[in-house]
Chains A and B, each alone.
Chain A
Amino acid sequence: MTSVAKASIEPRAKGDPVGNGVFAALTLAVAVLFYAVIAVIGSEYLYFAGYVVLQFVVLATAWNILGGYCGYVNFGSAAFFAMGAYTTICITTIASEYAKSAVGAAIGAVPPGVLVVLMVVLAGIISGLVGLGMGYLTLRLRGVFFSIATLALSVVLQTLVVNWDFVGGSRGAYVIRPNEFPLLPGGFIAYLFVLMLLLVVVALCVSRGIERSRLGFGFAAIRDDEMAAEAAGVPTLRLKLIATTISGALMGMAGAPFPYYIGYLQPQSAFGLEYAVNAIAMPMVGGTQSWIGPLVGAVLLGSFQQWATVTISSVLNLLIVGLLLIFFVIVAPNGITGFFRDLIYRRRRSGGGSGS
């Protein structure tokens, strides 16, 4: 049985001329190009706005691995995001509070640029483990009960953080973002932007790699009919645990650089409603059954929100997301990509060209 697990990420041949390696290279190339365009324009605002959109791409993609592929709707995305952010707060607080101790001094000696990367890795590990634990506790629940449990997890974690004085409690905590960054012209914010861009590449590669693998087919079987999946030999509990772990880890990784971005982190902003809502709305709008849906949804909704924030109102943008979500649930329940996929399928069937 173990030999089978090794072959989990074997690319699907059907209609898939692009292997995982080629896809990673292509995504990276697009990312570099995207950065180059922003860098040439050189506006600091674009780094700030772009960072948020990219962060949502990672969150939406991460949510989709559990919510879209497996069909388990997680309302607790904000908790995983916040866990990443508070990992950073925790470590930087250790550095400042215990600056004289060996551990504190060692952390303090690490340049911020390197420290952020370490935080991303650490946050990924912690959030992944919490995802695994949450999955173990809640995945015996189905449908809406699972969703309620994830929401409860979010509330519990927020309460813990609010009452945990070391990380600032309800007051929040500061992280000093250096202005300069030696290698990039745009300073530290440009560096954070690049970091998030790389996380997007990682998230998309993971998401697409899963979708076209044995694991991805197992996920889809669980989403379609868990009992039939089990009867067909899919170890449903194990696969769901893998999904919560990967999904949680990616969300935490997206949250780790956030304190550096925002400078001053409060529980209300880390556990903000906008993360939970957007992480669900973006894949729903883009389409949940493939890796490309969350990307499309996050880029569209994320950019739109950034635009609405500066032109209309910074409070109004969640309302707009809500309205768009309702619109899509009614008009195109499978999202934008699902809508086009269904259209192509119908055309092909009614065309009758394929000898049917």
Chain B
Amino acid sequence: MSQALLHVSGVTKRFGGFTALNDVSLQLAPGERLGLIGPNGSGKSTLVNCLSGTLVNDAGSVEFDGHKLDGLPPHKRAYLGLARSFQLPRPFGSMSVRDNMRIPLMYTAAVRAGHQRSEKEIRERTDELLRMVSLSDKADARPVDLTQVDMRKLELARAMAAEPKLLIADEAMAGLSNAEVDDILKLLMTLNSKGISIIMIEHIMKAVMAFSQRLVVLVSGTKIADGVPAEVIRNDDVVRAYLGQ
């Protein structure tokens, strides 16, 4: 599958004697929406960290957009077009919402475009991104004054500022109300409609089912299912993993 955007083959990650990921392989087509589910501790976030370069996998390899990612630090992976949001929002606390956007704009986006934006262009792009996540009226606020849902939006907007090809949204909806979940879901669909592939890691099944074109299930670090969502959730192994025998 040379046309795949992301090609994960045989990724294994151990922490001491504990195998967090065991020979996980998966592929993602350009523009695809993939849901990644699994019980707590099944290795979802470990996989995200191996993809984004925060952790180094012990075996296997990751190929993204024709580039081997193995051994690259996170910022170099970002330069190739791989963006992530964090499970717990990690805003730059001393900066305003507006200046938070500046970091990916001045670094990843600039490297990807091959030139720095002018101050005016940075301002315009920031306004555009904040409008997209409806944070325009909070542009000058500090992250500490944001609500939980706004913090998630900032996290997504910051990931989007890097102009990625693939966005990995690690539990972008955890702890949000129903209406807020719909908000974020709509936002992710909008991003996808612009051609960005998205991997959504989520516990909220309603959102995952509405979002995903394909569903991958991890249990204890092993991939047990991969396919059309409606079929995957009827899969015996998956039901057993979630509900027990």
Residues of chain A at the chain B interface (Cβ within 8 Å)? 1, 3-4, 7, 10, 12-14, 214, 217-218, 220-221, 223-225, 227-237, 289, 345, 348-349, 354-356
Determine if B91 is an interface residue (Cβ-Cβ < 8 Å).
yes
Residue in B86, B107, B138, B141 whose CB lies within 8 Å of A234: B107
CB within 8 Å of A: which B92-150 residues: 92-95, 99, 102-104, 106-111, 114-116, 119-120, 123, 137-138, 140-142, 145
Across the two chains, which residue of chain A brings its CB closest to B54?
Answer: A227
Q: Are B94 and A224 in contact (CB under 8 A)?
A: yes
Pull 7 A–B residue pairs with CB atoms less than 8 Å apart, ordered by A: A7-B115, A217-B103, A224-B95, A227-B74, A228-B90, A231-B74, A233-B103
Contacts known (A7-B116, A232-B107); A355 close to B94, Cβ less than 8 A: no
Contact A231–B107 (Cβ < 8 Å): no
Which B residues contact A (CB, under 8 angstroms)? 52-54, 73-75, 78-79, 83-84, 86, 90-95, 99, 102-104, 106-111, 114-116, 119-120, 123, 137-138, 140-142, 145, 158-159, 161-162
Assembled-state Cα–Cα distance A349/B106 (Å): 27
Considering only CB atoms, which chain A residue lies closest to B107 in the complex? Answer: A233
CA gap between A235 and B73 in the complex, in Å: 9
With contacts A355-B137, A356-B138 taken as known, whether A232 is within 8 angstroms of B104 at the C-beta atoms is yes
Indicate whether A229 sits within 8 Å of B119 (C-beta atoms), given known contacts A220-B95, A345-B142, A349-B145: no
Cross-interface CB contact of A233 among B94, B104, B115, cutoff 8 Å: B104
Shortest Cβ-Cβ A-B pairs, 8 listed: A233-B108, A233-B107, A13-B119, A224-B92, A228-B90, A7-B116, A230-B74, A232-B104
Is A14 a contact of B79 with CB atoms below 8 Å? no
Given contacts A3-B114, A4-B111, A354-B140, contact A236 B94 (CB under 8 A): no
Contacts of A234 in B (CB 8 A): 75, 103, 107
| Chain A, Cβ-Cβ closest to B112 | A233
CB contacts (< 8 Å) of B145 on chain A: these are 349
Whether A12 and B106, one on each chain, are in contact in the complex, defined by CB atoms closer than 8 angstroms, is no
Question: Is A217 touching B102 in the complex (CB atoms < 8 A)?
Answer: yes
CB distance from B43 to the nearest CB of A (A): 19
A224 to B145, CA, bound (A): 16
The contact of B103 among A7, A229, A348, A356, by CB within 8 Å, is A229
User: In the bound complex, how far is the Cα of B84 from the Cα of A246, in angstroms?
Assistant: 32
A82–B148 alpha-carbon span in the complex (Å): 49
Q: How far is the CA of A230 from the CA of B158 in the complex (A)?
A: 12
Question: Which residues of chain B are within 8 angstroms of A225 by Cβ–Cβ distance?
Answer: 90-93
On whether the beta carbons of B90 and A227 are closer than 8 Å, the reply is yes
A residues in contact with B137, CB < 8 Å: 355-356
Question: Which residue of the partner chain B has the closest CB to A6?
Answer: B116
Q: B53 — which chain A residues lie within 8 A by C-beta?
A: 230
A217 and B110 alpha carbons, distance in the complex (Å)? 14
Known: A224-B92, A349-B145. A217 touches B99 (CB 8 A): yes
Partner of B116, one of A10, A14, A230, A356: A10
- CA distance in complex: A111, B17 (Å): 68
B142 touches A232 (CB 8 A): no
- Distance between Cα atoms of A349 and B96 in the complex (Å): 12
Residue of B with least CB distance to A11: B119
Which residues of the other chain, B, contact A220 by a CB distance below 8 angstroms? 92, 94-95
Shortest beta-carbon distance from A319 to chain B in Å:
31
Q: Hey, which chain A residues are within 8 Å of B78, CB to CB?
A: 230-233
Q: Residues of A contacting B141 with CB < 8 Å?
A: 349, 356
A4 adjacent to B140 (CB under 8 Å): no
* Complex alpha-carbon distance, A286 and B91, angstroms: 25
Cβ–Cβ < 8 Å partners of A355 in chain B: 137
Closest-by-CB residue of B relative to A1 is B111
- B222 to chain A minimum Cβ distance, whole angstroms, is 27
Q: Within the complex, what minimum Cβ distance (angstroms) separates B32 from chain A?
A: 22
> Which of A13, A214, A227 makes the CB contact (< 8 A) with B106?
A214
Q: Kindly list chain B residues whose C-beta atoms are within 8 Å of the C-beta of A4.
A: 107, 110-111, 114-116
Q: A3-B115, A235-B75 are in contact. List 20 more A-B contacts (CB 8 A).
A: A4-B107, A7-B115, A214-B107, A221-B95, A227-B74, A229-B103, A230-B75, A231-B74, A232-B108, A232-B158, A233-B103, A233-B107, A233-B108, A233-B109, A233-B162, A234-B107, A235-B73, A348-B140, A354-B140, A356-B137
Which residue of chain B has its CB nearest to the CB of A228?
A: B90
Q: Using A1-B111, A223-B94 as known contacts, say yes or no to A231 and B52 having CB atoms under 8 A apart.
A: yes
> Which residue on B lies nearest to A230, using beta carbons?
B74
Which residues of the other chain, A, contact B74 by a CB distance below 8 angstroms?
227, 230-231
